[in-house]
Chains A and B, each alone.
Chain A
Amino acid sequence: MNVIELTDITFRWPKQTENLLDIPSLTIKKGEKVFLKGPSGSGKSSLLSLLAGISQPTTGEISLLQQSFSQLKATRRDQFRANHIGYIFQMFNLLPYLSVIDNVLIPCRFSRQRKNRLSGTMDSEAKRLLSQLHLPQECQERPINELSIGQQQRVAAARALIGQPELLIADEPTSALDHDNREAFIQLLMAECDKADTTLLFVSHDETLESLFDRSIALNDLNQAAKGVS
């Protein structure tokens, strides 16, 4: 099954005259762990906001989980994202005023589907995920701002994974971590994705991580607009 399918996508921001993205085709299958590389300014964040349904492609079609996604109304796309996509930012993923557990549970507050997919109570499920991601028990009780960046990213990963979304998008989640932590973090992430049969799209400009993934895509090879410029 194709989790992501892009066909003849072009995209530009409303006031731009030239396309930022021009992607004839991109397919990612269920369970794949894909490394998407590209230097900054190559249109990575634009592509991610298309995939998350925040922006609409100028032309072309996006299908997610074999459903036509780009045709949906904005509120339906928001709901789809809540139900099916986990998202990890580069850093500062967490809301400082919520506890660790409450941070992990945010997606369940916006999506009944993900809440229903939990096997135990919300609390126990959050704690189980956190321990699997090697976040020590005592860290789970601490305020967010007392956690290290590495610990914060693991909480963010637990949040992205809770309720087993089909697709996990990670936008340079390791850029604030040192090298050893990076690999460990990615290994943990992948182990969790395997358990839930979650497809992983990992975006980074750090090519040393490339070897850890099933497949690597260079955005500049994919994007016809980038070729035209260079």
Chain B
Amino acid sequence: MGAIFRLAWQSLTNRKTTAFLTLLTVAISVTLLLGVERVRTQAKSSFANTISGTDLIVGSRSGQVNLLLYSVFRIGNATNNIDWKSYQEISQHRSVKWSIPISLGDSHQGYRVIGTNQSYFSHYQYGRKQTLSFAEGRQFTGLFETVLGAEVANKLNYQLNDEIIIAHGISDKSFNRHDNLPFKVVGILKPTGTPVDRSIHVSLGAIEAIHIGWESGAKLGNTPDALALVNHQFEPKQITAFMLGLNSKIQTFALQRYINTYTKEPLSAIMPGIALHELWGMMSIAEQALLIVSGFVVIAGLLGMLTSLLTSLNERRREMAILRAMGARPSHIFFLLVSEATVLTALGVALGTLLLYSLMTIAQPFIQQQFGLFIEITGPTSYELLLLGIVQLAGITVGILPALRAYQHSLADGMTIKV
């Protein structure tokens, strides 16, 4: 059998070009399969990494996915606001270590504006408990100062000290801009790969200030100018949601229960991990579809190999006849073809894996810079090894068809040389 394997190898090296192209087809499909698998798991973990360190998110009563979507992902809207007094009472609860109030509702060129306070910059965490850090500038301190997420600054090409106008609501139209009160950019955050990159941060006081005269939802009353407002101390009456970090995780359930049964106002408290899990579950169909598509690419790659093996068979009838005359059994001929498919697939798998790792190494800094997504380069997981094993097995199986053909040829031809 060793001799046959050697022959298969030598025969393959003789057909370098076709063999290499076939191998490349298999390799690329393997790269795609592993790549999709990597992207899938990385997307999943980056999704789970959107928020971390936060024990509870509190908003007005709603479903947990909805609350998570508007408070963390800046998608959709709150059903209702919550009273500032409720926030103050709960955030002073003895088990609460820190709290971040957030106030949503305004936007700038499609990016959501989020009113918050300094604790956002010290306590908000994403990924593996990373806090936000600044690429340029500093936190907001004055009333009309703003801190931009990385993508906002990058896409809209804002620099420090630029002035921006915030619009009321989500659509940015000329009649609903707070255009008498521009904000000065004082800080730009580093990319995080989370919705923070797409947010514009201002103080809660600023949110109050720009809405004076907008109490009815449109600009009807008198809107004072900036100078008149700067030295005024604004206290918000309402906020949209808040995040809580607790002294001990053990207290999470007790506090959640306390908030959910809060009598002064209907509130919902959710645990972000559980809500993220539920949300990801809703997206798992897309995830499966991606994997299925790359599975089909592998099948196409293996069919390419089948085609090239089958077309080579006729030219190789002489080769088979010579081997038969030298004492090869039909089973040797069968094994010769299966060996070829095995060798081709194995090399394809190896090359494909190599290709993936080189691509990841090259793309890693770029992706981190552009998307704030850190791709970890780790050895293949057991699931990936399983996938590769399946590909190899499928490759061997694909070899059986031309092998059967060659087997039949060699029985029929014997040592009469055709062609």
Contact = CB atoms under 8 A, between A and B. Distances in A.
Interface of A: 45, 48-49, 52, 54-55, 74-75, 78-79, 81-83, 87, 89-90, 92-98, 102, 106-107, 109-111, 159
A114 to B, nearest CB: 9
B415 A95 contact: no
Given A45-B416, A97-B14, A106 B326 contact: yes
B73 to A, nearest CB: 60
Contact of B415 (A52, A75, A96, A102): A52
Contacts of B15: 97
A110 B415 contact: no
A48 B10 contact: no
B415 A87 contact: yes
A89 B324 CA distance: 12
Given A54-B414, A82-B327, A107-B327, A97 B11 contact: yes
A142 to B, nearest CB: 15
28 contacts: A48-B415, A49-B414, A49-B416, A54-B415, A55-B414, A78-B324, A78-B329, A78-B330, A79-B329, A89-B322, A89-B417, A92-B318, A92-B417, A95-B11, A95-B322, A95-B323, A96-B14, A97-B11, A98-B10, A106-B322, A106-B323, A106-B326, A109-B326, A110-B3, A110-B327, A110-B328, A110-B332, A159-B326
Interface string B149-172: 000000000000000000000000
Given A92-B318, A93-B322, A109-B3, A81 B327 contact: yes
Contacts of B322: 89, 93-95, 106
Interface residues of B, number: 26
Contacts of A94: 322
Interface of B: 3, 6-7, 10-11, 13-15, 318-319, 321-332, 414-417
A221 B319 CA distance: 34
A78 to B, nearest CB: 4
Contacts of A89: 321-322, 325, 415, 417
Contacts of B14: 96-97
Contacts of B328: 78, 82, 110
A107 B325 CA distance: 9
B325 A95 contact: no
Contacts of A102: 10
Given A95-B322, A106-B323, 4 more contacts: A45-B416, A74-B329, A81-B327, A159-B326
Given A78-B329, A97-B11, A109-B3, A54 B324 contact: yes
Contacts of B324: 54, 78
Contacts of A109: 3, 6-7, 326
A83 B414 CA distance: 18
A45 B321 CA distance: 13
Contact of B327 (A55, A95, A96, A111): A111
A49 B327 contact: no
Nearest to A96: B14
A79 B10 CA distance: 23
B343 to A, nearest CB: 14
Contacts of A95: 11, 319, 322-323
Contacts of A52: 325, 414-415
Nearest to A76: B329
Contacts of B326: 82, 87, 106-107, 109-110, 159
A22 B326 CA distance: 27
Contact of A75 (B6, B13, B329): B329
Given A87-B415, A93-B322, A78 B10 contact: no
